[in-house]
A = this chain, B = another copy of it.
Amino acid sequence: MKIVDIAAEDIRFPTSRTLAGSDAMHTDPDYSAAYAVVRCEGTSPPSGHGLAFTIGRGNEIVVRAIESLRALVVGRDTEELFADMGAFARTLTHDSQLRWIGPEKGAIHMATAAVVNAVWDLMAKVRGLPLWRLLVAMPPEEIVRLIDFRYLSDALTPAEALALLRDRMPDRAARERILADGGIPAYITSAGWIGYDDATVRRLCREALAAGFTRFKMKVGADAPEQDAARAHLLREEIGAERVLMMDANQRWDVGEAIDRMRPLAAFDPWWIEEPTSPDDVLGHAAIARAIAPIRVATGEMVQNRVVFKQLFQARAIDVAQIDACRLGGVNEVVAVLLLAAKFGVPVCPHAGGVGLCEYVQHLAAFDLIAVAPRLEERWVEFADHLHEHFVQPIAVERGAYRLPEAPGYGVEMRAASRREHTFPSGSVWATA
């Protein structure tokens, strides 16, 4: 089957109107998708859908970057791509001219993620499997071949990756049964947006508790430290002392400031502090982690690529790795980071929320928990309760856990009407604004 086109669409949801998704650095996000559709020749063939998540302005730049990748994909035969998805991903990341505007970071890398993921979605649909089952079904040798080991060999070799995957084989069936029964454990973020007032946060906490959630994340990094403490106090009043409370500063602080701001918040027993400073600052995270232990340090949603994750692990800078399905360059690079994390014994708790991120990462977490992670405990997927209605196969979350998805594909195919209405700036949602 030959690929005949990649369509790139600019889709935006006006979430800034309600402050859903607001945090200390991103005060007015419009959750958006630079959306790629891979089309094939033939009579009603499946199409592959991928997206890169952004928060509004700038989405048009990632859309343009998807268009720039088109020439590397159109005309290629799908079965040839599917036979070596590692080689396919490298044709995008190693382009001798395009790499200059990364390499493997920023707009071009997010566009790469959208395109790589769209081809994975296509492959999973052609094979009739949800993405996680497609990955679990691959022999370890084939998984290893997905990975670009360039710049990784001082931390992880192909032989080590292969051995790690083989070591997990005996546990796979039992782990899959556990996930099939109980789902993929989640935590909830959408009760704690920084722009919400106290009454809204209390109401959302109660609803989440009633729905079975036992892990809650709140935003910190308000202008005054007292505001963070007051909000944490409120959260603890609502959820009690025993449940898990994470905190997220969204890169608001310098290194010393993060240490100073977290010390008084230790009284509220946070499980982790997420993004205490710049996502580029490996040594800064390491300094913070040393200073505020036993509070864990987490980051990843803006960690640009496997080279930075490698260093975060090497420097013992993070206690939790928050992979992102479309900040990293798609499934291939995520698999690399899952294996690095496993080697260094760091649990992976995928970043979600946004639009489409929950739909994506349920597959990545299922693969990680079944085939890669050293153990199942303390590995939770983020959940935010919005925009799921726009997807053809939305996530199903029950009793604080994601049900294992069974529909073929990688999960982010958006409904045609939703895409039409939210096309920026011509869709009805924006034209009438």
Q: Which of A26, A282, A310 has the most CB atoms of chain B within a 10 A radius of its CB? A: A282
A302 / chain B contacts, CB cutoff of 8 Å: 103
A contact residues, total (Cβ < 8 Å) = 61
Given contacts A28-B96, A110-B101, A283-B282, contact A254 B65 (CB under 8 A): no
Taking a contact as CB atoms under 8 Å apart, the answer to whether B311 and A107 are in contact is no
A418 an interface residue at 8 Å Cβ cutoff?
A: no
Taking a contact as CB atoms under 8 Å apart, the answer to whether B105 and A280 are in contact is yes
Task: With both chains docked as a complex, state the minimum distance between the C-beta of A35 and any C-beta of chain B, in angstroms.
Answer: 15
A4 an interface residue at 8 Å Cβ cutoff?
A: no
Provide the bound-state CA to CA distance between A26 and B103, in Å: 12
A278 an interface residue at 8 Å Cβ cutoff?
A: yes
Task: With both chains docked as a complex, state the minimum distance between the C-beta of A265 and any C-beta of chain B, in angstroms.
Answer: 20
Provide the bound-state CA to CA distance between A280 and B309, in Å: 10
Tell me which residues from 252 to 287 in chain A have a Cβ below 8 Å from any Cβ of chain B: 254-257, 277-284, 287
* Total copies of the chain: 2
Tell me which residues from 277 to 308 in chain A have a Cβ below 8 Å from any Cβ of chain B: 277-284, 287, 302, 304-305, 307-308
A314 an interface residue at 8 Å Cβ cutoff?
A: yes
A64 an interface residue at 8 Å Cβ cutoff?
A: yes
Task: With both chains docked as a complex, state the minimum distance between the C-beta of A8 and any C-beta of chain B, in angstroms.
Answer: 12
Taking a contact as CB atoms under 8 Å apart, the answer to whether B106 and A105 are in contact is yes
| Minimum CB distance partner of A283 in chain B | B311
A228 an interface residue at 8 Å Cβ cutoff?
A: no
Taking a contact as CB atoms under 8 Å apart, the answer to whether A154 and B106 are in contact is no
Tell me which residues from 1 to 53 in chain A have a Cβ below 8 Å from any Cβ of chain B: 25-30
A28 / chain B contacts, CB cutoff of 8 Å: 96-97
Binds B, one of A54-62, A138-146, A382-390, A399-407: A54-62
Task: With both chains docked as a complex, state the minimum distance between the C-beta of A341 and any C-beta of chain B, in angstroms.
Answer: 17
Partner of A58 from B26, B57, B101 at Cβ < 8 Å? B101
Can you list 30 contacts pairing A with B, beta carbon distance less than 8 Å? A25-B96, A26-B99, A28-B96, A54-B101, A55-B97, A57-B95, A57-B98, A58-B97, A58-B100, A58-B101, A60-B68, A61-B107, A61-B108, A101-B106, A101-B110, A102-B106, A103-B279, A105-B304, A106-B109, A150-B278, A151-B277, A152-B254, A153-B254, A153-B255, A153-B256, A154-B255, A280-B304, A282-B282, A282-B283, A283-B315
